[in-house]
Chains A and B, each alone.
Chain A
Amino acid sequence: MSSLPVVFKFRLYVADDALNSAQARSNLAALCKTYLPDRSEVELVDVFKEPKRALLDAIFMTPTLIRLAPLPVRRIVGSLSQTDLVLRALDLEGETDAAQRSVGAIHRV
């Protein structure tokens, strides 16, 4: 289907090791592994360590995931626990069937 592999660039703002931040981190990792194997880049930003960046990116709620590429930029707030919703927001719905076999990976967290 996808002839040209599109690289997904993410920036995930977290608040230290707060519970929902940690959840988001592992949820994102699982999602990338399942749906975007080898075509995703994730940058982690801790708001406590880099508050200026949070301010510049207008991050008020943590965790916040920003999809920088492909455009348009998307923002998802929360622990990313509702996979279907997250996939829809990231325009990855079409890939769901292809990756059906390993969907359970996300729910485990």
Chain B
Amino acid sequence: MQAKRLPGPSGAGKAPTGISGFDAITGGGLPLGRTTLLVGGPGSGKTVFALQFLVHGVQHCDEPGVFVAFEETSQCILDNASGFGWNLNAPQRKRLFFLDAQPQPDLVQSGDFDFCGMLAALESQAGATGARRIVFDALDIVLALLPDPHAQRREIYRLHTWLLARKLTGIITLKADTDHTNAISQQPFGFMQFMVDCAVILNHSVVQGVSQRNLRVQKFRGSSFDENESPFLIGASGVEVAGARTLDSVETQVSTERISSGVERLDTMLGGGYYRGASVLVTGFSGTAKTTLSGAFVQAACQRGERTLFVSFDSEGSEVIRNLASVGIRLAPFVKSGVLRMASARTISGSAETYLVRIKALAREHRARCVVIDPVSTWSKSGTDLNAHSVAERLIDWSKADGTTLLCTRLLDEMSSPAEGSSPLQISAQVDTWIHLNYLVQAGERNRGLSIIKSRGTAHSNQVRELILSDSGVTLADIYTAGGEVLMGTLRWEKERAERVANEAVEVARKLKRVRLDAEEAELEVRVKSLQTELVAKQIEKALLLSSSKSLAGDVSRDRTRLEELRGADAIPPAVRTGGAP
């Protein structure tokens, strides 16, 4: 395990334990030069924790250590530790000193005694090796030999004073029934919790048949710490504490790259697809095509040549491939070429914590860039909801830190209220994109609807789309909304056809009307023309009339003149000249 010393003053005065998560909880490790009490029931991981602390000191902090074993022999402890891959080379091995201090079974105890012998021996040993870290494993074993509580208390103080005087960072482990963690102070060595500077409680419980380990820092003088119980696991490399990421943790690289969801129209709805490294949640009741949607994503990823891990909790990998082939999603070739790895998690048993570790290991092994977990809701079945929730949270955290694109599906209980958020596993707040699949039952039909509930950093469509599965793949269709009604499937088709017919009728009527108007227009134009012709005729007639009456008047005067000439009249009677009237 790589050491991560936290930068800044928060890490000052702390001795890093090298236990991932624990150093984050305590802001750097155990109090330097002080004593830490590690309390836990049988098999709660006290010895592993303590040993890891020493090994880390030797390997990464240049701090030699001493392990005082009261319970197991040092050989046993070393054998057990070899499984964790803490390979100490020869010089390192020399800097880690084991002291076998198990009381011999034939030991007779008569009267009072003290730990001076041990402290003297340790004094010489610690001085010789320059030890900075010390562990007293299962101190309760020797304490129990002391005749009375008074002597026990005295020896604990002696030990504590010695540790403080030597400025050794110490861990004392004690067995305790941690089922009633609050009552520890009532227990025989409970007062030790008041004496030490830091107390850590390890809890190993079985909840609904699922083993679960929790760690809680009870006190830490002079330092802030995460006060909550944190689940932990004894994994392949020792203790792993599931600490929430603190502000100190490294900002992960965020990508603006879009990757296809495998459904063309869904990409459009999302403004180009999912973000690389995003976590996508697909929720829905059973049979709403959650797996199919994940399958489409996997296919698209594999086509891009990205290594992908598909973890199925429902069925065997081959079953998933067969079922997806029926909707035109062909994954088998990718499995063959090694790009896709199908993992059936039905075989994994244990707590959600175990699942997470296994999935992480699988993903690392496969160097997966995309991970699909179908469905993640199974986790809430193994153990408590709270635990499953925190595991899912850390899954998202991990995938983000790793830059892995994660797609989880979540089965919603059909019996639960239709509100999308009512699932026991409320990880919807953490995911980047949340797609909800729903049924719409109408007119004896069940149709699938798809909607994007959220998609961070993306202008996404607010429209519900109909999800259509066919043997050629997954497509989305617009749903028909009319009069506040949402129509899908056959109803949508019917409504659309009815509308088409109605549209056609309207179009025909419109055409008819236009023709009629055209005719009327033509008629009017004709009339206008004939009237104009008539007008012209009238004007001509009028002009004719005018000119004829003028010539007539001329004729009359000319005629009179002619007549007068003919009559030989000598003078023009004045009456005639002025008007003709006598």
A and B bound? yes
Give the contact stretch, choosing among A33-41, A71-79, A94-102. Answer: A71-79
Q: Indicate with 1 or 0, residue by residue over A37-52, a CB within 8 angstroms of chain B CB atoms.
A: 0000000000110011
Closest CB of chain B to A101's CB: distance in Å? 22
Distance of A21 Cα from B113 Cα, bound (Å): 8
Known contacts A20-B111, A20-B112: does B120 contact A77 (CB below 8 Å)?
A: no
Distance of A50 Cα from B277 Cα, bound (Å): 63
Distance of A75 Cα from B114 Cα, bound (Å): 15
Asked if B101 is an interface residue, CB under 8 A from chain A, the answer is yes
A78 touches B111 (CB 8 A): yes
Known contacts A15-B117, A62-B116: does B110 contact A85 (CB below 8 Å)?
A: yes
A13 touches B117 (CB 8 A): yes
Q: For residue A48, which residues in chain B have a CB less than 8 angstroms away from its CB?
A: 116, 120
Q: For residue B123, which residues in chain A have a CB less than 8 angstroms away from its CB?
A: 51
Q: How many residues of A contact B (CB 8 A)?
A: 35
Known contacts A51-B121, A60-B121, A61-B145: does B113 contact A74 (CB below 8 Å)?
A: no
Most buried by B among A48, A75, A78: A78
Asked if B559 is an interface residue, CB under 8 A from chain A, the answer is no
A89 touches B110 (CB 8 A): yes
Q: List residues of B (215-232) whose CB comes within 8 Å of A's CBs.
A: none
B106 touches A23 (CB 8 A): no
A54 touches B108 (CB 8 A): no
A77 touches B101 (CB 8 A): no
Please give the residue numbers on chain B whose beta carbons come within 8 Å of chain A beta carbons, in ascending order: 99-101, 104, 106-118, 120-121, 123-125, 142, 145, 147
Known contacts A47-B120, A60-B142, A61-B118: does B111 contact A79 (CB below 8 Å)?
A: yes
B107 touches A60 (CB 8 A): no
Asked if A80 is an interface residue, CB under 8 A from chain B, the answer is yes
A16 touches B116 (CB 8 A): yes
Q: For residue B124, which residues in chain A have a CB less than 8 angstroms away from its CB?
A: 51-52, 55
Q: For residue A82, which residues in chain B have a CB less than 8 angstroms away from its CB?
A: 110-111
Distance of A47 Cα from B99 Cα, bound (Å): 16
Of B110, B120, B145, the residue contacting A79 (CB under 8 A) is B110
In the A-B complex, the 4 residue pairs with the closest CB atoms:
A15-B116, A79-B111, A51-B124, A81-B111
Q: List 20 A-B contacts (CB under 8 A).
A: A23-B111, A23-B112, A47-B116, A47-B117, A48-B120, A55-B125, A59-B117, A60-B117, A60-B118, A61-B113, A61-B142, A64-B113, A75-B104, A78-B112, A78-B147, A79-B112, A81-B110, A81-B112, A82-B110, A85-B108
B107 touches A79 (CB 8 A): no
Q: For residue B118, which residues in chain A have a CB less than 8 angstroms away from its CB?
A: 59-61
Q: For residue B99, which residues in chain A have a CB less than 8 angstroms away from its CB?
A: 55
B110 touches A54 (CB 8 A): no
A76 touches B116 (CB 8 A): no
Closest-by-CB residue of A relative to B155 is A61
Closest CB of chain A to B143's CB: distance in Å? 11
Asked if A18 is an interface residue, CB under 8 A from chain B, the answer is yes
Known contacts A51-B124, A54-B120: does B115 contact A78 (CB below 8 Å)?
A: no
B106 touches A74 (CB 8 A): yes
Asked if A24 is an interface residue, CB under 8 A from chain B, the answer is yes
B115 touches A61 (CB 8 A): yes
Distance of A81 Cα from B107 Cα, bound (Å): 16
Distance of A92 Cα from B145 Cα, bound (Å): 24
Known contacts A55-B121, A60-B121: does B113 contact A79 (CB below 8 Å)?
A: yes
Q: For residue B147, which residues in chain A have a CB less than 8 angstroms away from its CB?
A: 78
Closest CB of chain A to B443's CB: distance in Å? 84
Asked if A58 is an interface residue, CB under 8 A from chain B, the answer is yes
A77 touches B108 (CB 8 A): yes
Asked if A86 is an interface residue, CB under 8 A from chain B, the answer is yes
Distance of A91 Cα from B113 Cα, bound (Å): 22
A74 touches B111 (CB 8 A): no
Distance of A1 Cα from B115 Cα, bound (Å): 40
Closest CB of chain B to A86's CB: distance in Å? 5
Closest-by-CB residue of A relative to B112 is A20
Distance of A1 Cα from B100 Cα, bound (Å): 41
A62 touches B117 (CB 8 A): yes
A54 touches B114 (CB 8 A): no
B114 touches A61 (CB 8 A): yes
Distance of A47 Cα from B142 Cα, bound (Å): 18
Distance of A89 Cα from B110 Cα, bound (Å): 10
A76 touches B109 (CB 8 A): yes
Closest CB of chain B to A60's CB: distance in Å? 4
Of B101, B108, B117, B142, the residue contacting A89 (CB under 8 A) is B108
Q: List residues of A (15-31) whose CB comes within 8 Å of B's CBs.
A: 15-16, 18-21, 23-24, 27
Q: Indicate with 1 or 0, residue by residue over A3-18, a CB within 8 angstroms of chain B CB atoms.
A: 0000000000101101
Q: For residue A76, which residues in chain B have a CB less than 8 angstroms away from its CB?
A: 107-110
Known contacts A58-B101, A61-B142: does B113 contact A77 (CB below 8 Å)?
A: yes
Distance of A80 Cα from B125 Cα, bound (Å): 28
Distance of A75 Cα from B105 Cα, bound (Å): 10
